[in-house]
Amino acid sequence: MAPVQVKKICCIGAGYVGGPTCAVIALKCPHITVTIVDLNQARVDAWNSKDFDLPIYEPGLVDVVKQARGRNLFFSTDVDKAIREADLIFVSVNTPTKKSGVGAGFAADLNYVESATRRIAAVATSDKIVVEKSTVPCRTAESMRTILEANSKPGTHFDILSNPEFLAEGTAITDLFSPDRVLIGSLQTESGQNASQALAAVYANWIPKERILTVGLWSSELSKLAANAMLAQRISSVNALSAICEATGANIDEVAHAVGFDSRIGPKFLRASVGFGGSCFQKDILNLVYLSESLHLPQVAAYWRQVVEMNEYQKSRFSKTVVDTLFNTITGKHIAVLGFAFKADTGDTRESASISLIRDFLSERAYVTIYDPKVEVAQIWQDLQEACPTTPLAQIQKYVNIVHSAAEACEQKEAIVIATEWKEFLDIDWQHVYDLMTKPAFVFDGRLLLDAEKLTKIGFTVKTIGRGGRV
């Protein structure tokens, strides 16, 4: 049996993974028709907008969509039609951490994955290659295969592949154009390996074959969790060291630079910050914790749990530094928080450190002014409401103001907190800001972004994460 030649691809889910990934596939494979489907009409309308006001912000994404949309890239809510016509189907739906039931707070909620799988089984009338693109627990493919085989029409065959994404928001398009590796997991049967080769052939249109790795299905699923866990572990490790630096007078930049020169360690992901966020790191580690506990490996579970606990500690430690520095009280004081996205060059706020910081400031009854260049105002209110579930939104809005420029956010404040490393914050007229602030004027840099020496010369009291006050 020869591998299927993929001519039509369907992607279920038009979010941060499915949208950019399949847009790039369409761009690089003009001979393949790619249809991205989603039940959210507003999201699909945004992907189809005439002015390319796309539902997610990602540098370079608009250019990709402009080149491919209408040629061989389409966005639709007609899920059934796309499933029926496709040779290969990506399942790229959300897999959030469960909020209730067994495994609440740790396990992944696979409701959307199951719904998509059942829809495929109900609609498909010909053989399909079904590809896990969402981040899922190990052996989820087994559940998907069981559902497909139990509900498939006579004579219809499904092959399940795992093809986890390793994208970093903010550089996703660059990552897709030139990835470190593409990982494809399959059952080690003739049919499974043929399906794997069919998907590999799609990527081979622009990716060197030596970067396309084919492995077993379960290894592929676990590799995604393992990669994110180890990246997050590095961040928590350097953040733990930043606390020691602040206590001893060492400089975390210098320590990380020296450590990164070791070829066995390398310099990447050794930048201290107020904490990691995003859709993957915390979710995947908690998933790994739950998996370890389910497999009766409590020591392994405890090890990975500590990575998340250190991340939460870093956030609370930073907010406590703000309170302690502002003479042990911020009640009634006005604080500017610059940045609400979890990192620069994205509008994604999931698990953003800013949310935790602002929640802590509100608990002290401080007034907070927020500015972020890409996050929608409605998203900020939604996130703050979820972070303070017992406080009515109207009450939150009495203490929080959202503005549309960094300069406006900083006017007449007691303190400024850098929570996201947007480059535009480097261009702020800090002398002008200082002149308008209540004195003493404080800047808290949670992203190692600013020139502390320059700000100190202006007159600011600067607190930078990972830098102690001793000589």
CA distances in angstroms from 275 to 44, 75, 297, listed in the order given: 33, 35, 27
CATH number, span 249-464: 3.40.50.720
**Token output for 401:** 């103001």
What CA–CA distance (Å, rounded) separates 61 from 172? 9
pLDDT digits (tens, 9 = 90+) for 318-337: 999 999 999 999 999 999 99
Q: Given the residues 11, 29, 280, 410, select the one marked as catalytic.
A: 280
What CA–CA distance (Å, rounded) separates 18 from 14? 5
Annotated binding residues for NAD(+): 13-18, 38, 43, 93-97, 134-135, 169, 280-283, 350
pLDDT of residue 190: 95
**Token output for 67:** 């080149």
pLDDT of residue 471: 42
For 210, other C-beta atoms within 10 Å of its C-beta total 7
CB neighbour class for 234 (10 Å; exposed up to 12, middle 13-18, buried from 19): middle
Residue tagged 């986890």 (tokens): 164
Which of helix, strand or coil describes residue 330?
coil
What CA–CA distance (Å, rounded) separates 35 from 26? 9
pLDDT of residue 100: 83
pLDDT digits (tens, 9 = 90+) for 277-321: 998 899 999 999 999 999 999 999 999 999 999 999 999 999 999
Catalytic residue flag (residue 245):
no
Which of helix, strand or coil describes residue 359?
helix
Residue tagged 């079904």 (tokens): 130
- Assess whether the region 8-207 and the region 249-464 belong to the same CATH fold: yes
Proportion of the chain in helix, strand, coil states, percent, rounded to 5: 45, 15, 40
What CA–CA distance (Å, rounded) separates 192 from 218? 13
Single-letter residue type at 146: T
**Token output for 57:** 């912000």
Contact criterion met (CB below 8 Å) for 32 and 6: yes
Written as one string, the DSSP assignment of 189-234 is SHHHHHHHHHHHHHHTTTS-GGGEEEEEHHHHHHHHHHHHHHHHHH
Strands 182-186 and 158-162: antiparallel
Contact criterion met (CB below 8 Å) for 336 and 413: yes
**What does the domain layout of the chain look like in residue ranges?**
8-207, 249-464
CATH class of the domain defined by 8-207: alpha beta
Q: Which residues of the chain have pLDDT under 70?
A: 1-2, 469-471
